[in-house]
Amino acid sequence: MTATALEEPVRKTSPGAAREPRRRPGRLRRIGLPYLLLLPALLLELLVHLVPMVIGIVMSFKELTQFYIRDWGTAPWSGLDNYKVSVDFDAPVGEALLHSFFVTVGFTLLSVALCWLIGTAAAIYMQDTFRGRGFLRALFLVPYALPVYAAVITWVFMFQHDNGLVNHVLHDQLHLTDKPSFWLIGDNSFYALLTVSVWKGWPFAFLIVMAGLQNIPRELYEAAALDGAGMLQQIRRITLPSLRPVNQVLILVLFLWTFNDFNTPYVLFGKSAPAAADLISVHIYQASFVTWNFGTGSAMSVLLLLFLLVVTGVYLLLTSRGRRTADA
């Protein structure tokens, strides 16, 4: 999450935030202490995230097949070969990667839009107190609280061709289809994946927007009501603009999580996803572990990371600039 970029300037201006630590005996100890406090977090991030990332980048320049896996340092260098294979869109490997990329982009945009829309609508609808509000709020958080595999396995059961709930309702009870459909193979699998992803993801948007709404001062609404603004106008002129900073981070986080999601498609489809729902994480996993070609898999991962870096950078640039002009 790159939210610090937004948090930092705010913090610097807040009173006392940049205050010097209290004068204590022992200059070395005073300077060393913050680093000492950070050390465990730093070491672990290095071990689990940063060092492996560097290894991953190195691996992407190597011809790393199963023969070299025991001692990967000895694998021969292959220059840009892995990248050439990955982006040669006329050959099967590159073509499949490009297809998977487009599927992932489409899926992510739809899923994030739906999650945000449902979450925001629910949070705004539940801003006033009414009977059963606390109960509903707890209920709505259940999909988010359930372990991914438990929730997704239940959806797998519901999407079964012969004994699933979805076909029973659509075909047997509502007679909407001529014959029971397949949901976990073929083109329908995209919609199955989207449904599960939205079901699982919208409560997070709900949670964040709900927390964001609490920080909007009540006086704003009162002033607007005195000026004769109706409900919809209040939502448009006060609620949504006040949520802007929250939304900026929320949408980015939803985007990154959904784009990188492995757990949902993996539990839903198993090791090989149908082409219509071939998300990039599972695609790369398969390219690495099924074909045992880790060099190409690493190259694909690096390309994915570069894409996400560019998207995040452009997104933050665009949304932050829009915000500044809006403030001026």
Partner 1 sequence: MPSTPASPMAPPRSFLWSRRIFLTLLTGFVLVPVYVMLSSSLKPLADVTGKFRWLPSGLTFRPYIDIWSTVPLAKYFMNSLIVAGAATICSVVIAVFAAYAVSRYSFRGKRVFTVTVLSTQMFPGILFLLPLFLLYVNIGNATGIALFGSRGGLILTYLTFSLPFSIWMLIGYFDSVPRDLDEAALVDGCGPLGALFRVVVPAAIPGIVAVAVYAFMTAWGEVLFASVMTNDTTRTLAVGLQGYSTLNDVYWNQIMAASLVVSVPVVAGFLLLQRYLVAGLTAGAVK
Tokens of 166: 């979805």
The three-state secondary structure class of 273 is: coil
| Smaller CB separation from partner 1, 41 or 328 | 41
Query: Are the CB atoms for 208 and 124 separated by under 8 Å?
Result: no
Site for partner 1 in 103-122 (CB under 8 A): 118, 121-122
Distance (Å, whole) CA 102 – CA 169: 31
What are φ and ψ of residue 93, in 5° steps?
Answer: -65, -50
Site for partner 1 in 282-301 (CB under 8 A): 284-285, 288-289, 294, 297-298, 301
What are φ and ψ of residue 90, in 5° steps?
Answer: -90, -20
Is residue 185 close enough to count as binding partner 1 by CB under 8 A?
no
Site for partner 1 in 121-160 (CB under 8 A): 121-122, 124-129, 133, 136-151, 153-155, 157-158, 160
Q: How far is the CB of 276 from partner 1 (least distance, A)?
A: 20
Is residue 314 close enough to count as binding partner 1 by CB under 8 A?
no
Q: How far is the CB of 6 from partner 1 (least distance, A)?
A: 11
Query: Are the CB atoms for 41 and 49 separated by under 8 Å?
Result: no
Residue with tokens 């797998």: 156
Name the residue among 75, 277, 111 with its Cα closest to residue 197. Answer: 111
Q: What is the DSSP secondary-structure string of 251-271? A: HHHHHHHHHH--HHHHHHH-S
Helix axes 294-327, 280-289, angle to 10 degrees: 160
- Contact residue for partner 1 among 113, 211, 317, 318 (CB under 8 A): 211
Helix axes 189-213, 148-158, angle to 10 degrees: 140
Is residue 168 close enough to count as binding partner 1 by CB under 8 A?
yes
- Contact residue for partner 1 among 131, 175, 179, 218 (CB under 8 A): 218
Q: How far is the CB of 40 from partner 1 (least distance, A)?
A: 5
Is residue 167 close enough to count as binding partner 1 by CB under 8 A?
yes
Using a 10 angstrom Cβ sphere, with 0-12 exposed, 13-18 middle and 19 or more buried, the burial of residue 311 is middle
Q: How far is the CB of 87 from partner 1 (least distance, A)?
A: 17
Binding mask of the shown chain, residues 2 to 31, with x at each position contacting partner 1 by CB under 8 A: xxxx-xx--x--x-xxxxxxx-x------x
Site for partner 1 in 55-94 (CB under 8 A): 55-56, 59, 69, 72
What are φ and ψ of residue 77, in 5° steps?
Answer: -70, 145
| Smaller CB separation from partner 1, 102 or 157 | 157
Q: How far is the CB of 263 from partner 1 (least distance, A)?
A: 4
- Contact residue for partner 1 among 100, 111, 281, 319 (CB under 8 A): 281
Distance (Å, whole) CA 56 – CA 20: 40
Q: How far is the CB of 227 from partner 1 (least distance, A)?
A: 12
Cβ contacts of residue 270 below 8 Å, gap of 6+? none
Q: How far is the CB of 49 from partner 1 (least distance, A)?
A: 4
| Smaller CB separation from partner 1, 90 or 143 | 143
- Contact residue for partner 1 among 312, 315, 316, 323 (CB under 8 A): 312
Is residue 38 close enough to count as binding partner 1 by CB under 8 A?
yes
Name the residue among 96, 134, 156 with its Cα closest to residue 291. Answer: 96
Q: How far is the CB of 328 from partner 1 (least distance, A)?
A: 23
Determine the number of helices (DSSP H) and then strands (DSSP E) in the chain.
Answer: 17, 0
| Smaller CB separation from partner 1, 93 or 253 | 253
| Smaller CB separation from partner 1, 19 or 175 | 19
